[in-house]
Amino acid sequence: MNRLAVELPGLSLKNPVMPASGCFGFGREYAKLYDLNVLGAIMIKATTLEPRFGNPTPRVAETPSGMLNAIGLQNPGLEKVMEEELPWLAQYDVPIIANVAGSTMEDYVEVAKHISKAPNVHALELNISCPNVKKGGIAFGTVPEVAAELTKLVKEVSEVPVYVKLSPNVTNIVEMAKAIEAAGADGLTMINTLLGMRIDVKTAEPILANRTGGLSGPAIKPIAIRMIYEVSQAVSIPIIGMGGIQSAEDVIEFFYAGASAVAVGTANFIDPFVCPNIIAELPALLDELGFDHISECTGRSWKKGGPTVYCGA
């Protein structure tokens, strides 16, 4: 028995650990360091209809236990991703989750229609939550009706299951998740980055050229855990969890909160071997915790009537 294997819509994963979108490019760089076949899946960089240069630099700034990024969805565009990146990735026996972005609903639909036809793309991840693009992006991710409408349109054209990536930059994430589930999404991925900002003490200028950026890394982990805990109890579609994961223990914590698989983002920059290392460490941790299979961990914090949410005071 493979204790790490998980089955999700469209995805038969040999293990539940995958690099998060935007933190792994299209895999070429990390392929120089290790065999990508060890990964459960790969979430590729956001793809838009046309090539995008993205934002001016500086595009990253460090924060306590985290970082801000304002890459601005730089990518080579649908055509190049279809003709060069996806065929290159096809040499690996790893399902690809294509992160889809756009400025208009039509953009999303167009990219989804084509990219879902690629043989190694087993699922789409709708990026309705990027905080770094002027038009679209986060607007799609903050109004439930708009997110639901987009989900529906993409579902109509996609040949593979559709996961929607939730933005944490909302007041009520449960309402958002429910609207997206009702619109037909096959799964959720969460969380994207939190909108943040840093200012240089010497110059009084924002450090990022874009002024604001998305916060990621260990700093956001408690927020991701809380949101997955809330959402997983309110929907019945599976969740791929992310936000600050650095270790096998972190992975288990995300499962306990309600995730069925996880993605690792920023930690790849700090330790390029973090994904294979976590995968290698998980079986021993399952032994230690007394689980036969990792899926037993999903929702553990609330399924066994665990502690209720502390609401202050």
Partner 1 sequence: MKTEKMTIVHHERIAKNIYQIRLAGALVAEMNEPGQFVHIKVTEQANPLLRRPLSLCDINKEADECTIIYRAEGAGTTLLSQKRPGEMVDVLGPLGNGFPIEAAKTGQRALLVGGGIGVPPLYELAKQLVKKGVSVTIVLGFQTKEVAFYERKFASFGETYVATVDGSYGTKGFVTDVIDTRITSFDVLYACGPKPMLKALEQKFPNKEVYLSLEERMGCGIGACFACVCRVPDSETAYKKVCSDGPVFKAGEVVL
Task: List active site positions.
Answer: 130
CB of 173 to ligand FMN, least distance (A): 14
C-alpha span between 5 and 17 (Å, rounded) = 10
Which of 15, 21, 232, 260 forms a contact with ligand FMN (CB under 6 A)?
21
CB of 74 to ligand FMN, least distance (A): 8
Q: HSE of 251 in the Cβ direction (CA atoms, 13 Å)? A: 32
Which of ligand FMN, partner 1, none interacts with 270 (beta carbon under 5 to 8 A by kind)? partner 1
Which of 4, 6, 26, 45 forms a contact with ligand FMN (CB under 6 A)?
45
Interface map 209-228 toward partner 1 (x if CB under 8 A): --------xx----------
Which of 124, 138, 147, 242 forms a contact with ligand FMN (CB under 6 A)?
242
Q: In the range 114-173, which residues lie near partner 1 by CB under 8 A?
A: none
Residue (10 or 137) nearer to partner 1, CB? 137
CB of 264 to ligand FMN, least distance (A): 6
C-alpha span between 49 and 112 (Å, rounded) = 10
Q: In the range 120-159, which residues lie near ligand FMN by CB under 6 A?
A: 127, 130
Q: What is the DSSP string of the chain?
A: --TT-EEETTEEESSSEEEPTTSSTTSHHHHTTS-GGGSS-EEPPPB-SS-B--PPSP-EEEETTEEEE-----B--HHHIIIIIHHHHTTSS--EEEEE--SSHHHHHHHHHHHTTSTTEEEEEEE---TT-SSSTHHHHH-HHHHHHHHHHHHHH-SS-EEEEPPS-SS-HHHHHHHHHHTT-SEEEE--PEEEE-B-TTT-SBSSTTSEEEEESGGGHHHHHHHHHHHHHH-SS-EEE-SS--SHHHHHHHHHHT-SEEEE-THHHH-TTHHHHHHHHHHHHHHHHT-SSGGGGTTHHHHT--PPPP---
Which of 111, 148, 248, 264 forms a contact with ligand FMN (CB under 6 A)?
264
Using CB under 6 A as the binding rule, whether residue 27 contacts ligand FMN is answered as no
Which of partner 1, ligand FMN, none interacts with 299 (beta carbon under 5 to 8 A by kind)? none
Residue (28 or 293) nearer to ligand FMN, CB? 28
Using CB under 8 A as the binding rule, whether residue 269 contacts partner 1 is answered as yes
Q: In the range 28-67, which residues lie near partner 1 by CB under 8 A?
A: 28-30, 32-33, 45, 51-54, 57-67
Residue ranges that bind partner 1, judged by CB under 8 A:
22-25, 28-30, 32-33, 45, 51-54, 57-67, 69, 71, 74, 77, 217-218, 246, 266, 268-273
Task: Tell me which residues touch ligand FMN (CB under 6 A).
Answer: 20-23, 45-46, 69, 71, 73, 99, 127, 130, 165, 192-193, 216-217, 220, 242-245, 264-267
